[in-house]
Amino acid sequence: MTQPSSLFRLLRPASVAIVGLSADQSKHGGRVLSFLRAAGFEGPIWGVHPRTPAVEGVSMFPSLGELPTSPDAIILAVPPPSIPGILEAAGEKKAGGAIIFSGGFAGTGEEGVALQNRVLDIARAGGVRLLGPNSAGIIHPGARTILSFLTCLERPMAEIRPGPVGLVTQSGGTGSFIHNLAADRGGGLAISVSTGNEADIELSEVFAALVGRPDVRAIALLLETVRDGPRFIAAAHAARAAGKPVVACKIGRTRAGHGIMRTHTGALAGPQRTFEAVFDSLGIASVRTPAELLEVAEVMARAPVPEGDGVGIITHSGGAAIMLADRSEELGLSLPTPSPDLKTRLAPLLQMGATGNPVDLGGIVSRPERYGEVIRLFLGDPAYDLVIPVSTPHPSAHSADRARELVEISRSTKQPLPNLWLAGELGRSGIEILREEEAPVAETAESLLLAVKGLVRLGVMKRAKKVDPEVPDPAILKRLSDLRAGEDINLSEADSKALLREMGIPVAAGEVANDPDEAARAAGRIGYPIVLKAVSAYLPHKSEAGGVRLNLQSEDELRRAWDGMMSDLAGKAPGVLIEGALVEEYAPGTEMIIGSVRDATFGPMVLAGIGGVLAEVYGDVALAMAPITEADAARMIDSLRGVRLLRGFRGAPSTDEKALAALIARLSRLAAAYEREISEIDLNPVVYSGGRWLAADALIKLNSIT
């Protein structure tokens, strides 16, 4: 029989030792003891204190070494300087894990960092897992285990109920707030774990552990950062394979720790945008507030994943219908218009309503049974894979019957039927029934629609084909190895484009020239009009230094441009090594920026944006984890606000979006295949000219050899 892991022992302990326990019930140790007793913890609880004070009903010991057996969980309710010695004893006792509530470690200066490192070294040497410092502990109602001091536990213990959602949070106080929210609506959490400073146990490890727990049907993450990207990604894949939705609330939106990026792509792929892209790529629903985190997770825990993306919305309020239609469009939800046949069936059931989608029943006071009939009609139509019944204020006498009918309908179909309940206090009896019957229900439109978006996204990912990995080309690996052996890991535009040509990325035709005569001969071979650009690995943004000349129509213009460009560079970029000039075909047209950047936590990402400079000015970009399929790339393109510029805006010719999606997907596969060698690829702009997409400018940054 295999022994339970140390993390398992800490998450579901059979025994608890509270170090620093005294008779003062207002201190952390005393609070944990009172909450354990109130929850009905069934295992032994031992107190440890060098002066062995009398604590009613608890066996007290002067040290950990004198406990009768190895404890699964240790609560360290002592000052930080005492912790190293206690952890040495815990290792000798072969304890499972320890929870550090207190601060005074990393984040408080060099001494705190040194103490945290020492504590971690001691714990690892003794095989003891650490939760914290600054952890608010573990609350596991189903196991009657409360290893926490949070104020939410001061409510009657009967209100700290189990629920379908497992919570991992890097903020203890916000976890307390979420427990209170769940309790106020008659529910609870399967388990909550506060990871704090994450000296040892970090969010991704707990996330992975919750995937395997049968009492957890959805996982909620409240996080500031992710320290172990590969483990986080693996946990997300495991959750999706297990059919357990994941919802994340990312707090903290600064650029701290993002590093210095050379390319436009790197600059645009900021921390918050990267997190949002990672969540979307992994099928994790993203929310902005803790309240949404709980409500969205509860809805997704209780609703099946739809077979398609068609959403139908049924309400009896014109205002609610408009609001939901607007927000659905913003979130990219598909609301198919009812077919002529469905409209005919709906017509006799409406009372001065409208047969669109959302459908508005109009008056609902008379013949309230019409509500259920309309829901059944939508569920029976193949255009709708998920149906949202919306209950706005209605006679309170209808609430209980309506809720029971919604439960009955939900049980009779395999399609998701997430409810939006906007009926207020007069409709309280109805929502209580829905919650008691574990029907998916939310009280805010935003939460409900975010949950629906998450469910639809999971369905799309379930049906999507796998991405075939790119097999690195040995010749390109050799070329990259030679380039990385040099002093400079930033390639010039000419070297970048030469490498991209080998990789199958279309680039503008061009040649490098060392003087005006060579430039003129190159232009004659390429054909006018041409572009002249300075070549330098040390000048990534040439335009600002005067290193670019466009639309040169003749040799005379070319020679004048050469002299003017070199003069500008001497004045604006003195001392920068110029290796010559790139003579290229001039290919004006609709512009995009696409690129890749290797994120330090999550690995290669691919980016696409409209209009090159416009992407930077307005932040109109889409980002995804590489590699992606062409369907994923098409979805990225469609999400851009400026996508109309690709579709013949104001009489301009339409572009080939399918070819653009293929190019983005191709670049993403390259980024994944050569992630050890390449840090960033920047194609800005990529131009649609003459019926083709090609990179008019390109920069590559290599990873240094370490």
278 and 185 in a common domain: yes
pLDDT of the residue at 3: 42
**Residue 694 forms beta bridges with which residues?**
687
652 and 503 in a common domain: yes
Q: Is the pTM of this model over 0.95?
A: no
Query: Shortest CA distance to 391 belongs to which of 357, 426, 367?
Result: 426
506 cis-preceded (ω within 30 degrees of 0): no
Asked if residue 96 lies in contact with residue 129, where contact means CB atoms within 8 angstroms, the answer is yes
Per-residue confidence band for 254, with pLDDT thresholds at 50, 70 and 90: very low
Side chain identity at residue 677, one-letter code: E
**Using the 8-state DSSP alphabet, how is residue 676 labeled?**
T
Kindly state the average pLDDT of the residues 527-547.
91
Tell me the C-alpha distance between 421 and 427, whole Å: 8
Tell me the C-alpha distance between 207 and 201, whole Å: 11
User: Which of residues 555, 585, 615 is at a domain's end?
Assistant: 585
For the chain, the first-to-last Cα distance in angstroms comes to 43
Asked if residue 177 lies in contact with residue 136, where contact means CB atoms within 8 angstroms, the answer is no
**Using the 8-state DSSP alphabet, how is residue 347 labeled?**
G
62 and 125 in a common domain: yes
| Joined tokens for residue 389 | 């019944």
Per-residue confidence band for 706, with pLDDT thresholds at 50, 70 and 90: low
pLDDT of the residue at 259: 43
Q: Is position 381 within any domain?
A: yes
> In this structure, what CATH number is given to the domain that contains residue 403?
3.40.50.261
The region of weakest confidence among 259-263, 279-283, 401-405, 465-469 is 259-263
Side chain identity at residue 621, one-letter code: V
| Joined tokens for residue 376 | 């059944």
In this structure, the strands spanning 246-250 and 218-223 are parallel
Kindly state the average pLDDT of the residues 24-41.
94
Other C-beta atoms closer than 10 Å to the C-beta of 519 total: 25
Q: Is position 681 within any domain?
A: yes
Q: Is position 686 within any domain?
A: yes
Is the pLDDT at 116 greater than 70? The verdict is yes
Query: Shortest CA distance to 439 belongs to which of 464, 408, 463, 466?
Result: 408
598 and 568 in a common domain: no
Q: Is position 145 within any domain?
A: no
Other C-beta atoms closer than 10 Å to the C-beta of 53 total: 13
Say how far residue 321 (Cα) sits from the centre of its chain: 29
Asked if residue 504 lies in contact with residue 661, where contact means CB atoms within 8 angstroms, the answer is no
pLDDT 10s digits, 311-348: 999 999 999 999 999 999 999 999 999 999 999 999 99
Tell me the C-alpha distance between 299 and 218, whole Å: 9
Is the pLDDT at 287 greater than 90? The verdict is yes
Kindly state the average pLDDT of the residues 293-305.
98
| Joined tokens for residue 257 | 């720790």
157 and 8 in a common domain: no
Q: What is the CA radius of gyration of the chain?
A: 31
Query: Shortest CA distance to 377 belongs to which of 441, 312, 320, 424?
Result: 312
Is the pLDDT at 366 greater than 90? The verdict is no
pLDDT of the residue at 257: 38
Give the number of C-alpha atoms closer than 13 A to the C-alpha of residue 493, restricted to the C-beta side.
32
**Residue 400 forms beta bridges with which residues?**
none
User: Which of residues 463, 493, 525 is at a domain's end?
Assistant: 463
Domain holding 8, by residue range, is: 1-136
156 and 287 in a common domain: yes
Query: What mean pLDDT value characterizes the chain?
Result: 93
Q: Is position 141 within any domain?
A: no
365 and 425 in a common domain: yes
| Joined tokens for residue 299 | 């809805």
> In this structure, what CATH number is given to the domain that contains residue 560?
3.30.1490.20
Per-residue confidence band for 612, with pLDDT thresholds at 50, 70 and 90: low
pLDDT of the residue at 265: 64
pLDDT of the residue at 24: 85
pLDDT 10s digits, 89-109: 999 999 999 999 998 888 788
Q: Look up tokens 């996080």; give the residue.
A: 223
Is the pLDDT at 619 greater than 60? The verdict is yes
Side chain identity at residue 106, one-letter code: A
Helix ranges, 335-464 (H): 340-346, 370-379, 396-411, 428-436, 445-463
Q: Which of the given ranges, 13-17, 51-55, 258-262, 649-653, has the highest pLDDT on average?
A: 13-17
User: Which of residues 405, 429, 463 is at a domain's end?
Assistant: 463
Asked if residue 64 lies in contact with residue 95, where contact means CB atoms within 8 angstroms, the answer is yes
pLDDT of the residue at 264: 62
549 and 434 in a common domain: no
377 and 268 in a common domain: no
504 and 517 in a common domain: no
**Residue 700 forms beta bridges with which residues?**
681
pLDDT of the residue at 358: 97
Is the pLDDT at 396 greater than 60? The verdict is yes
User: How big is the CA angle at 581 (ends 578 and 584), to the nearest 5 degrees?
Assistant: 150
Calculate the dihedral angle through the C-alpha atoms of 660, 625, 508, 562, rounding to the nearest 10 degrees: 130
| Number of domains making up the chain | 5
Give the number of C-alpha atoms closer than 13 A to the C-alpha of residue 581, restricted to the C-beta side.
29
> In this structure, what CATH number is given to the domain that contains residue 95?
3.40.50.720
pLDDT of the residue at 253: 53
180 and 43 in a common domain: no
pLDDT of the residue at 468: 83
- Backbone angles phi and psi of 344, in degrees to 5: -65, -40
625 and 501 in a common domain: yes
pLDDT 10s digits, 474-524: 999 999 998 888 766 889 999 999 999 999 999 999 999 999 999 999 999
Q: Is position 142 within any domain?
A: no
In this structure, the strands spanning 386-391 and 97-100 are unpaired
Kindly state the average pLDDT of the residues 18-33.
92
Tell me the C-alpha distance between 223 and 234, whole Å: 17
Q: Is position 143 within any domain?
A: no
In 566-691, the DSSP E strands lie at 581-585, 590-599, 603-610, 621-625, 678-689
Q: Is position 579 within any domain?
A: yes
pLDDT 10s digits, 627-681: 999 999 999 999 999 999 999 887 788 999 999 999 999 999 999 999 999 999 9
pLDDT of the residue at 618: 78
In this structure, the strands spanning 419-421 and 311-315 are unpaired
User: How big is the CA angle at 566 (ends 528 and 526), to the nearest 5 degrees?
Assistant: 20
pLDDT of the residue at 643: 93
Kindly state the average pLDDT of the residues 52-68.
94
